[in-house]
Amino acid sequence: MPDPLLELHGLSKNFGALTVTSDVSLTVLPGEIHAIIGPNGAGKTTLIHQISGTLRPDRGTIRFAGQDVTALPFERRARLGLARSFQITSIVPGFTALENVALAVQARSGSSFRFLRPVAGEAALNDEARAALDTVGLGQVADRTAATLSHGEKRQLELAIAIAMNPRLLLLDEPLAGAGPEETERLIGILRDLRSRYGILLVEHDMQAVFALADRISVLVYGRVIVTGTVDEIRGHPEVRTAYLGEDALA
Amino acid sequence: MTAPFHKSLRNHALALVTLLALAAAPFLGFGDGFALSLLARAMILGMAAVSLSLLVGGAGLVSLGHAATMGIGAYAVVAFDAAGISEGLIVFPAAIAAAAVYALMTGAVSLRTSGVHFIMITLAFGQMAFFITSSFSSLGGDDGYTLYARTEWLGSRILDNRLIFHFLCLGLLALVWVGGTLLLGSRFGRVLRAARENPQRALAVGFQPYPYRLVAYVMAGAVGGLSGALLANATEFVSPALLSWTRSGELLFMVILGGVGQLGGAILGALAIVLLEETLSHLLVYWRLVFGPLLVLSVLFLPDGLIGAPLRLRAAFRFASPKRRNADA
């Protein structure tokens, strides 16, 4: 088995008396899609916050690419190659799609304390940004202002930004949230193409998408991982049925 | 700033025309001492307003203490004057450096806050500077300080020539405007703009906005110091009123009236306010009764500021005349 890209060990977080993450340990291997599912309020997004660095865990460690990153802030983890997408789309609305992505390329290519040269004309940044936009199928709308893109296009743009960071791990928090059936289809295709290049930790409510994409699935209930297994193991697991899926989701 | 090139060129055009008009003004009947000192005041305040606009429009940092940097620049000039030093090569760099150091120290603290807290903390630092200058008894305290002479350059008193002073102010104003506009379009500026619109996104790709904002804050402070040193020379008198928070508010109003989307707006805003104030105060005793409502109306009807007015008017005109719209299509 290869060394895990991401390794959570005994992660715990309380908000007052409320335990939102309870002794969570899991791994993501290179080239693997590890999905986290669980009912609303199970603590999925809180877990993503702790992995990305926007929230500090009370106990436990987070190792990324062999390094303990538990104490590193969000932007430092991003520079190490931990790219995160948000449940609620987070882009720069006044920038063009291209500039949104070029910002991510810029973050990992040289100093940004350069004050006079027009950045819009930097071909090296723009070329890489265009490539990332093409990967997610947004090549045609590169010069549109991000605010004017459709909801599905914004989700794709956020993926393109993550790709442009040239990350080692993608943390995707409900990338399909609010996408229509056609957009969902397209996004699933994109994610399937990406799996060979990155490790992916996927939080998603759309069960069809999770079963279609995931190599392994962890089920989170009340902040605790009750089971981790392959798609088939999760489908058949009795505790999962009662805790989350319900009878009809398995039909 | 992210508008297509031809569009941004059109927006820059208005600022360019204004600068050209300022260059021509002394030869078009505005060459007397009174007109020139009025225009110098407008250009100097415009310089400070452009630097504030860099913070407000560019970085999203609404400072209500920017006048303090002007005041520090001006007080550097009088402090040297009191010590018998009036050489520009010493006085001007020192004024700029003093304001930059002030901006560095106060910015390092202020920039840890945001929103309303940032406004209040910059106001608080500004008030501190105000009361400190009021207590300089050797520099006149509350009463202020009258300069013995304008700053010299290599021993020559060229700033006494009003025309030279006019073009010095104009040149520096243009330089600040061009420099600031380039800055906002650079790598550095892109990080500032991204962090203004969506700081979470900036962090997510790996940018901590704090150092970028601090550098911008220091740059704006340095320009504030430069404008203060010029203002001391223009009026040959410096008092703590220069650092009062109402002065900071006035600078902020110049930025908003001119339009926060473009740095050139601050030039228009400064010119409009200085000239309007002058004209109205000659026409009416209670001129502020007219001035206030005019400003309110301008904010209501020109949300993009003066610099956005031509586009807005064009759009309104097209809307009113469908024939022309068809012809365009």
Q: What's the pTM value of the predicted model, to 2 decimals? A: 0.92
Q: Which helix (H) or strand (E) holds A10?
A: strand A6-15
Residue of B nearest to A110 (CA): B187
Q: Which of B182, B188, B197 shows the shortest C-beta gap to A94?
A: B197
Interface test with B, best of A87, A88, A108, A113 (most B CBs within 10 A): A113
How many Å separate Cα A10 from the centre of its chain?
21
Q: B125 vs chain A: nearest CA distance in angstroms?
A: 27
Sorted by sequence, the CB contacts under 8 Å of residue A233 that are 6+ apart come out as: A227
Q: Which of A75, A95, A118 shows the shortest C-beta gap to B208?
A: A75
| Nearest-angstrom CA–CA distance, A12 and A202 | 20
Tokens 């609303």, located at residue: A40
Tokens 């799609």, located at residue: A97
Strand runs labelled E in B112-249: 145-146, 237-238
Q: A-chain residues within 8 Å CB-CB of B205? A: 78, 103-104, 107, 161, 165
Q: What is the pLDDT of residues A62-87, one digit of tens each?
A: 999 999 999 999 999 999 999 999 98
Q: B201 vs chain A: nearest CA distance in angstroms?
A: 6
- The widest CA-to-CA distance across chain A, in whole angstroms, is 63
Q: B-chain residues within 8 Å CB-CB of A92? A: 193-194, 197-198, 201
Is residue A112 within 8 angstroms of chain B, CB to CB? Answer: yes
pLDDT of residue B327: 46
Phi, psi torsion values for A87, nearest 5 degrees: -65, -45
| Nearest-angstrom CA–CA distance, B190 and B185 | 6
The edge-to-edge listing of strands for the beta sheet with A6-15 is: A18-28, A6-15, A59-64, A67-68
Q: What SS3 class is residue B324?
A: helix
pLDDT of residue B2: 44
Q: Do A115 and B190 touch (CB under 8 A)?
A: no
**What is the rounded (10 degree) CA torsion for B189, B192, B197, B200?**
130
Reported ipTM? 0.92
Q: Which of A91, A95, A118 shows the shortest C-beta gap to B186?
A: A118
Interface test with A, best of B175, B201, B215 (most A CBs within 10 A): B201
Report strand pairing: A82-85 vs A169-173: parallel
Q: Is 3.40.50.300 the CATH classification of the domain at A1-81+167-251?
A: yes
Q: Do A91 and B198 touch (CB under 8 A)?
A: yes
Q: Do A118 and B185 touch (CB under 8 A)?
A: yes
Burial state string for A99-136 with b = 16 or more CB within 10 A and e = fewer than 16: bbbbbbbbbbeeebebbeeebbebeebbebbbebbebb
- Look at residues B27, B20, B39 and name the one whose alpha carbon lies nearest to residue B271: B39
Instruction: Say how many residues make up chain B.
Output: 329
Q: B206 vs chain A: nearest CA distance in angstroms?
A: 4
Sorted by sequence, the CB contacts under 8 Å of residue A119 that are 6+ apart come out as: A102, A106, A125, B185, B186, B187, B189, B190
Residue of B nearest to A125 (CA): B187
Residue ranges of domains in chain B:
31-243
Q: What is the DSSP letter of A245?
A: I
Long-range contacts for A118-126 (Cβ within 8 Å, ≥24 apart)?
Answer: A118/B182, A118/B185, A118/B186, A119/B185, A119/B186, A119/B187, A119/B189, A119/B190, A120/B185, A122/B187, A126/A98, A126/A102
- From first to last of its 329 residues, chain B has per-residue pLDDT tens of 444 445 556 668 899 999 999 999 999 989 898 999 999 999 999 999 999 999 999 999 999 999 999 999 999 999 999 999 999 999 999 999 999 999 999 999 999 999 999 999 999 999 999 999 999 988 989 999 999 889 999 889 989 999 999 999 999 999 999 999 999 999 999 999 999 999 999 999 999 999 999 999 999 999 999 999 999 999 999 999 999 999 999 999 999 999 998 999 999 999 999 999 998 888 888 888 888 888 888 888 888 899 988 888 888 887 776 555 444 43
Q: B-chain residues within 8 Å CB-CB of A113? A: 187-188, 212, 215
Size of interface A-B (CB pairs under 8 A): 103
Residue ranges of domains in chain A:
1-81+167-251, 89-166
Q: B-chain residues within 8 Å CB-CB of A116? A: 179, 182-183, 186
Q: Which of B179, B186, B206 shows the shortest C-beta gap to A117?
A: B186
Is B197 in contact with A68 (CB distance < 8 Å)?
no
Q: B-chain residues within 8 Å CB-CB of A96? A: 2
Q: B189 vs chain A: nearest CA distance in angstroms?
A: 7
| Nearest-angstrom CA–CA distance, B242 and B227 | 12
Distances (CA, A) of A224 to A12, A94, A243, B135: 9, 40, 12, 63
pLDDT of residue B176: 98
- A window 206-225, beta carbon within 8 A of B: none
| Nearest-angstrom CA–CA distance, B223 and B225 | 5
Q: B-chain residues within 8 Å CB-CB of A112? A: 187-188, 190-191, 207, 212
Sorted by sequence, the CB contacts under 8 Å of residue A214 that are 6+ apart come out as: A33, A34, A35, A202, A231
Q: Which of A78, A111, A117 shows the shortest C-beta gap to B205?
A: A78
**Any idea what the Cα angle at residue B204 is, between residues A110 and A227, rounded to 5°?**
130
Q: Do A90 and B207 touch (CB under 8 A)?
A: no
Q: Do B185 and A78 touch (CB under 8 A)?
A: no
Residue of A nearest to B189 (CA): A115
Residue A189, Cβ neighbours under 10 Å: how many?
A: 12
- Look at residues A201, A228, A20 and name the one whose alpha carbon lies nearest to residue A12: A20
Q: Which of A52, A86, A103 shows the shortest C-beta gap to B194?
A: A103
Q: A64 vs chain B: nearest CA distance in angstroms?
A: 16
Residues in chain A, pLDDT under 50: 250-251
Q: Do B183 and A115 touch (CB under 8 A)?
A: yes
